[in-house]
Structure 1
Amino acid sequence: MSRQVNRYLKDKHLDHIDHALGRPVDPMGETYRNYFAANANGDIAREMSASPHWQKSCRDNDIDVFHVTRAGREALRDHLKAIGDQNRLYQITWLGMSTTVVSTSAGKARYAAYLDASDVDPDLTFKTFQAQACVRLEGSGAP
């Protein structure tokens, strides 16, 4: 499962950082992407160029491509803590198979894993799944 969070941050600058990193649970960890393309003559590109949270990597025609710096990742991590973001990574083990689920609670993570398992086994009940599945918080997933 994905280690991404479906969220929108009210602070537009930090939302751009979150978007550039692929909306990760842990902005300090490895992310599947790290870029943001902006109109080279636009306000966003000017703001990013002036910020320590961004580093411009290239220009392609009229597009500037930026990458998030360590300072940007730290700013996002601190913001997520400040707003009380509850998204965490949970490891679900069922019948010897493990999967990682992003959720705000162990119960919601268990139910999300059950929904995926029930797609494969339509006769599976939540009661049975709940008795067989083990849920634990992944130590490195919390921001």
Structure 2
Amino acid sequence: MADFSTFLPDSAFALDVEAKDWREAIKLAGKGLVDAGFTTDDYTNQMIETVEKLGPYMVITPGLALAHSRPSDAVLHTGLSWVRLATPVEFGNKANDPVSLVIGLAGRDENEHLEVMSAIAKALMDQKKTAQLAAAQSPAEIRAILES
């Protein structure tokens, strides 16, 4: 089981913030990864380039984007950022827009990347937990829901 206190420290959160579009939402997720020491700014640019090249596939369920790029030298440590938007933004994914939660994911290698992704996916497939996460007021409360 992923240790969310390691992979998702307080510095990686931005709760109820504004973004004017999907690029700005990804930049906020990237800032959380950089602030937590997981990535360099290059990784944020790589996440944006991934959407520009491949489209909004990272909008994986209604309202949720899992912002990421391939493991690269811009990833210093495996980790997550958590951006809850005050006003949802469109990513261009007809089925799952608009997005109100952007989780930034940086993986040093494929195994760590998958371990963290599966732990997050498990929590987000539970509608009760998803509702609790949307209402949570602090990073500690969000981590507790994810770990329950």
- TM-score normalised by length of structure 1: 0.21
Structure number with greater Rg is 1
For CA contacts below 8 A with separation 6 or more, give which structure has more relative contact order. 2
- TM-score normalised by length of structure 2: 0.21
